[in-house]
Structure 1
């Protein structure tokens, strides 16, 4: 009895499914009325998109009707002011995968539409929008349309990766050798590199569709190149896409600072790719009443745009540490900006190094998980 009941239910479900499919196929060709009235936003609405802010704009309209009283699908189309929507700049289904007579369009997507319309950051794009209704096949365009003015934010949509390329860079004009910048925050990237006479620009990819950026003063701008003159210099380049900011700072030198002596023991030489080295350097701990002191950190000297210099210490993420050993994890050597205190946030040399020589390497590039350094006993 149960088997018969199950077979009957299964057969009925299959019949309903087939009938539904045939019915949907027929309904997809039903006539749909065009949308008559647009409700929101009001005509000539002005929208200023804030930099880095989340938000949206709501588009609403009167419902359309299908000749068979079935469900209607909607999409909103955008075009430049004066356009006829024959080739819209952008179209998107309404909320609910096209089922609702409402569209919640994010600031990010609205910024994309303004960008497609040709507006640069902070410029205003005058757009028109309308609604097209359908049963999934034939679109019924509304005769109603409205204007919306969109002012793009000061910044850019942040790319997933950023590279520096050009004749002035370490990788040269060959974009396949572009130097990758390190992501250090939301929309923020930086790189320690050298620049020689020539040109350079920032790109978001090495292949495919590539967006290019340069700078004008302290502002990041689309396209263009930056000229470099004079001798080769080591620099720190910083870009922030959210607020379109750019900064270039010359790196004068990097030294190993020994706490007990409260001075730089020796400078490291720049070796390319954000890396500094010092080879075969003597390591002699400081004798204290309680034992041998082995604490150290690093100090950068930067040259500012006005010619003044700034010192920045890089040390441990920990305020205090045990001495390094052969079993110490690589993360022990990670370097972060720290204060100029004598003994806090310092590293401690492996005790095997006392009265020996060592090779020191500092790596400030995108190849490492975090800015770091190594200390290798010289045999």
Structure 2
């Protein structure tokens, strides 16, 4: 019995001793042993780009814009990061146009902006190209969820890069209008330009000498006008401006504008005609207005050749552009003859490179439509008169042409 009691007492002492050791190794949480988390002090001093400095933005500039400030006071070993809040005149920084981490992932007391970045911020602020805009900025210092925003604010002025603010989308057509055009200034009758590619548009139009015209589009519900300045640079009219263009010589022009490059080019158009290489036959077309050329009551002809006893029908369309002869032809190099069911794409017009073989990329007549008579001196003539129209406009979304039977055939 004594041995058993001794064992119980020994075990009790051992457990007590172990508990005492645990208390020494794990004394529990002591706030005095930890550095307290302190919210950062706000930035009090703005050092650069804070007093109305003006920067002319340029795509070729190699000099960055640097916003600088004096770091906030550090508490112990706490690491603070910085964000720059950028707003416009009238903004209250609750919804700034831009929030950017400072350099080195927020650790540096400065923000470096390229001219492109500053221009992008200006666009967010709705600044128009080629105009001044004022940007205001504050600094937010933060650590974890704690932050403070400087009560001071800086401001600087940027002169926006050259460009066009409102470039129409693919579904927003551009028109040419004005007293100098064929609509005589009636915008409801304006001629739509054909979209060639992103930002590139073209039209064929008769212009009056020394009469105004301008380009027009509805972009995002806003009516916009475009013109070329005295240097030939394409620009968008600002509110209240009335800039237009004019030509010194009346005539038919091909006008091409490139919104991205802000360029505009003019080509003077002369004669337009149908050309059969077999027999060297030419049929002149009349300008019908609104980018269309054509002829009515036309009697087609084809000439026999050693390889074509029933007549050679290959033909194309020629146009004088700036005094040089160009040919409009087929997409395929050697397409067969169409019939009444042939897809309209067959008739699309493509400007061929000068020097292209005259037989290649030609169209062929539709025998089903023309209904040839008997040959005379090796030449066949169609018994069905036709109206031919060349569409150098946006009516079909591509330059093309159509043949239809003339109404006079029934008389």
Partner of 2:20: none
Q: Size of the alignment, in residue pairs?
A: 322
Q: Greater Rg, structure 1 or structure 2?
A: 2
Q: Decide whether the 8 Å contact of 1:184 with 1:190 is kept in 2.
A: yes
Deviation at 1:172, TM superposition (A): 2.7
Deviation at 1:73, TM superposition (A): 12
TM (norm. structure 1) is 0.68
How far apart are the structure 2 equivalents of 1:318 and 1:39?
67
| 2:212 is the counterpart of 1:199 | yes
Deviation at 1:142, TM superposition (A): 5.5
Question: Which has the larger share of strand?
Answer: 1
Partner of 1:186: 198
How far apart are the structure 2 equivalents of 1:172 and 1:284?
39
Change (3 A) 1:48 1:157: farther
| 2:345 is the counterpart of 1:331 | yes
Give per-residue Cα distances to partners, 1:131-188, cap 9 Å, x unaligned: 47699xxx95652536474551356653233211211222232323322211112211
Change (3 A) 1:342 1:44: same
TM (norm. structure 2) is 0.63
How far apart are the structure 2 equivalents of 1:39 and 1:347?
72
Q: Decide whether the 8 Å contact of 1:276 with 1:363 is kept in 2.
A: yes
Unaligned runs of 5+ in 1: 1-30, 51-55, 65-71, 304-308
- Residue 360 of structure 2, aligned match among 333, 341, 344: 344
Q: Secondary structure at the match of 1:285?
A: strand
| 2:310 is the counterpart of 1:296 | no
- Residue 248 of structure 1, aligned match among 255, 262, 266: 266
Q: Decide whether the 8 Å contact of 1:75 with 1:132 is kept in 2.
A: yes
| 2:391 is the counterpart of 1:363 | yes
How far apart are the structure 2 equivalents of 1:126 and 1:36?
25
Change (3 A) 1:130 1:320: same
Aligned-CA RMSD value:
4.5
Partner of 1:268: 285
Change (3 A) 1:262 1:59: farther
Give per-residue Cα distances to partners, 1:292-313, cap 9 Å, x unaligned: 211111111123xxxxx12221
Give per-residue Cα distances to partners, 1:301-336, cap 9 Å, x unaligned: 123xxxxx1222111111110101111111111111
Q: Decide whether the 8 Å contact of 1:94 with 1:104 is kept in 2.
A: no
Give per-residue Cα distances to partners, 1:188-234, cap 9 Å, x unaligned: 11111122353111122299532222223532233301235665x22
